[in-house]
Amino acid sequence: MPPASLQEWYKPNNKRQVWLHTMFRLRREMQAINEYAKENNIPAMKKWIKRLEKDYNKIADMVPEWKKEIKPRLLPELKMFANKGDILRVTRTLEMITETCNDCHQRYQPFVTAIYRSPGYDDIKLKNK
């Protein structure tokens, strides 16, 4: 089951659903880094790495129980490889970051969807025959 602290970031506790928007930004940032790496566009890649660093680090701030699930130590490595223009290592490091996301999603996403993103059925009444 996902940690209880996650409910703070979903409706009704959070009208803006900050957690979901953070996840969407992370996906976009990782896709952009990957695409710019393929194009060898270092300046654009560095711009998106900076955004990724900000949002990836928010995960542990928002849900402290998941601090061990993520690997923030990979972000300085990602920046270092981008600064060196080492595209192969950028993509490999990004793959490792993506694995942390995939592992967490595989473990928790079905529960999170059922708990926080599905309609409530509390008001449904069944008639006895």
**73-112 pLDDT, tens per residue?**
999 999 999 999 999 999 999 999 999 999 999 999 999 9
> Would you say residue 24 lies in a domain?
yes
Tokens standing for residue 96? 């490792």
> Would you say residue 128 lies in a domain?
no
- Look at the chain and report how many structural domains it folds into: 1
60: Cβ–Cβ under 8 A, 6 or more apart, which residues? 66, 67, 70, 72
> Would you say residue 111 lies in a domain?
yes
> Would you say residue 28 lies in a domain?
yes
Nearest to 10 by CA among 87, 62, 49: 62
Task: State the pTM of this model.
Answer: 0.86
At 119 the pLDDT is 78
> Would you say residue 122 lies in a domain?
no
Secondary structure letter of residue 124 according to DSSP: -
Which residue range is the domain that position 100 belongs to? 4-116
**Residue 124 reports pLDDT greater than 90:** no
Let me know: does 51 contact 31? Beta carbons within 8 Å: no
> Would you say residue 125 lies in a domain?
no
**55-67 pLDDT, tens per residue?**
999 999 999 999 9
Query: Which of the four pLDDT bands, split at 50, 70 and 90, describes residue 24?
Result: very high
- Strand ranges in the chain using DSSP code E only, listed in sequence order: none
> Would you say residue 29 lies in a domain?
yes
> Would you say residue 84 lies in a domain?
yes
